[in-house]
Amino acid sequence: MKIIAFSIFCMLTSVTACTQERKDNSPWIPSKPKATHAIPFLTGQNDFVYVDKTSLKPVTNQKFRSASVFTATGFAVVGNGKNEYAVIDGNGKTVLDFSTSEINLNVVNGLTFYKRDIEYEKKMPVWKWDWNIMGSGIKKEQTYHKIEIGILESKQVLLHEDIPYLEDNYYLDCIAVDESHLFWNGTLYEIKKNGLSKIENNIAELLENKRFLKSSNANFSMYELGQKKAIHSGLKGTEALSLQFGRETILLKDVNKERYEPEIPKLLLDSKTNDVYPFPQYEKVFPKEIIKATASQIDFIKKISLVYSITNSPYFLLGVFNYDHDVWAYDWLYIDTKGNVTDSIDTYSFKVLDQVGNMVWPDRKMILPTQFIDKNWKFGKINSYQGMNDTYFIRIEDEKKLRTMGLWNSKTKIWEIKPEYHDISVLDAEKQMYALQKEEDGLYILYDQKNKKNIGSKGYRSINSDGLVTVQLNSRENIYYYIDIYSGKEYKEN
């Protein structure tokens, strides 16, 4: 099982990029934004116009076939009747011209990143033709993506490439390191005049507290932002651990072993000191000696296959995969930096997820203790998202094989939303706004969890966090428009 650890930090897969300045256009000078409080309004002619959220008066005379809400920096993506897309500012001025390329925006540290992407068939040289041995012909073209990624405020182009679609691993997942620095695409940048300047290349992994890993010939070095000298160097991947318990030496093999070799090993060994730094933040040394443990705990440790560092704590997570459970899962112990083993610890802002985002640690028994459950329940996957704090989505199956989900508060030990729904979607975790679907293929309704009430009485086929909803007119036709997810107000012509 491939698993991923998260604290309050996200990690990004690194890929190669290039940076260049666009020379054919002068940098866009922003006019004073006036439409960031505007919203797309669906007219009776199925066009969108931007209106003031309160008065519903148009803020421009432009009409579009599709329109997004404005970013916090005052930009929106709009579409015309030719299936072309562009970016406009708060005054309706075109910032990126209409083209058939799809456009995505993301705001980080006050900068608006864009990605333009178009798929096309590229004619290939004869040695790259796809010869079908079954006689159905020769494929002389391959599917390619033409990609451009840049910054709207400065028109700086960070990447411009034509690549096979299977190699398209470019995303707008920029990470703010601090107010003046960003990490993207394996590169650390400094923000200067609404643009980015490279300060470090070929970063294998960005870590918390402004640290990062660089690799060279299977060796890793750890650095801190602003420091030229490595914090640790000569680190190598390992799957073995050695622990001394009294006179006994416990050798552990295949720790954190994965089916495929990871880009960054889950255990990094300092060959000079034999110190081992575990995933995900590699911030502290795993103990070489067990100081305090019971006989049963030692037996458990001899079988462990998972060792993670619990960030912002003195503890490490020790896991043994148990195939005897009704639902296969890990059993856990914990060891601190001094070598003391314990069966339980206090809660920390730390989660271990599997490769599809389901909770591995803390597990169901920690989140929802047995005394709070119906004896006939079986449990499915558990999820929690950023901003949900101590609340978790838990899926259950009752004695009638009916599968539902609810929202459980692990701190207060109550169901914030009873497990009576087929699906629950997060719209705003901080303000506790959700979309509830009672039955499969049913409609979603707005729910204000903080005030324990439904918002309005209308249901929708889908509700997005930005307020975009889908309404089915008939078996063949859907319409899309925006609502205010906090009040239920609809932005469309009656």
Query: Which pLDDT tens digit goes with each residue over 113-156?
Result: 999 999 888 888 877 777 776 656 778 888 888 999 999 999 99
In angstroms, rounded to a whole number, what is the distance separating the alpha carbons of residues 362 and 390?
A: 11
Look at residue 458 and tell me if it is in a domain. Answer: yes
Most confident of 8-12, 320-324, 487-491: 487-491
Q: Which of 16-25, 36-45, 265-274, 422-431 has the lowest mean pLDDT?
A: 16-25
Q: Are residues 282 and 263 in the same domain?
A: yes
Q: Where does a domain end: 357, 385, 415?
A: 357
Q: Where does a domain end: 141, 169, 197?
A: 169
In angstroms, rounded to a whole number, what is the distance separating the alpha carbons of residues 26 and 389?
A: 45
Q: Are residues 236 and 291 in the same domain?
A: yes
Query: Which pLDDT tens digit goes with each residue over 215-272?
Result: 998 899 999 999 999 999 999 999 999 999 999 999 999 999 888 888 899 999 999 9
The count of structural domains within the chain is: 3
In angstroms, rounded to a whole number, what is the distance separating the alpha carbons of residues 447 and 417?
A: 10
Q: Are residues 350 and 426 in the same domain?
A: no
Q: The sheet that has 181-184: what strands, in order across it? A: 175-178, 181-184, 187-192, 195-200
- Write the DSSP string, 98-127: EESSEEEEEEETTEEEEEEEEEEEEE--GG
Q: Are residues 273 and 296 in the same domain?
A: yes
What pLDDT score was predicted for residue 425? 96
31 or 103: whose pLDDT is higher? 103
3-state secondary structure 132-160: CCCCCCEECEEEEEEEEEEECCCCEEEEE
- Phi-psi category of 194—alpha, beta or left, where left has phi over 0 and alpha has psi -120 to 50? left
Query: Which pLDDT tens digit goes with each residue over 338-366?
Result: 999 999 998 777 888 776 777 889 988 89
Q: The sheet that has 141-151: what strands, in order across it? A: 20-21, 156-164, 141-151, 111-123, 102-108
Backbone torsions φ then ψ of 17, nearest 5 degrees: -145, 170
pLDDT band of 31, cuts 50, 70, 90: very low
Look at residue 264 and tell me if it is in a domain. Answer: yes
Given a cut of 70, whether residue 369 has pLDDT beyond it is yes
Residue-number span of the structural domain to which 349 is assigned = 213-357
Q: Are residues 381 and 305 in the same domain?
A: no
Q: Where does a domain end: 169, 189, 224?
A: 169
Q: Are residues 145 and 69 in the same domain?
A: yes
Q: Are residues 283 and 409 in the same domain?
A: no
Look at residue 8 and tell me if it is in a domain. Answer: no
Name 270's bridge partners: 235
Look at residue 443 and tell me if it is in a domain. Answer: yes
What pLDDT score was predicted for residue 326? 61
- 69, with CB counted inside 10 A (0-12, 13-18, 19+), is middle
Look at residue 324 and tell me if it is in a domain. Answer: yes
Q: Which of 72, 70, 142, 145 is nearest to 115 (CA)?
A: 145
224 or 375: whose pLDDT is higher? 224
What is the mean pLDDT of the segment spanning 162-182? Answer: 90
Q: Which of 195-199, 327-331, 451-455 has the lowest mean pLDDT?
A: 327-331
Q: Are residues 61 and 124 in the same domain?
A: yes
Q: Are residues 116 and 233 in the same domain?
A: no
Q: Are residues 481 and 339 in the same domain?
A: no
Q: Are residues 406 and 443 in the same domain?
A: yes
Q: Are residues 247 and 339 in the same domain?
A: yes
**Full-model pTM:** 0.85
In angstroms, rounded to a whole number, what is the distance separating the alpha carbons of residues 422 and 109?
A: 37
Look at residue 200 and tell me if it is in a domain. Answer: no
Query: Which pLDDT tens digit goes with each residue over 96-124?
Result: 999 999 999 999 999 999 999 998 888 88
In angstroms, rounded to a whole number, what is the distance separating the alpha carbons of residues 276 and 263?
A: 17
What pLDDT score was predicted for residue 375? 77
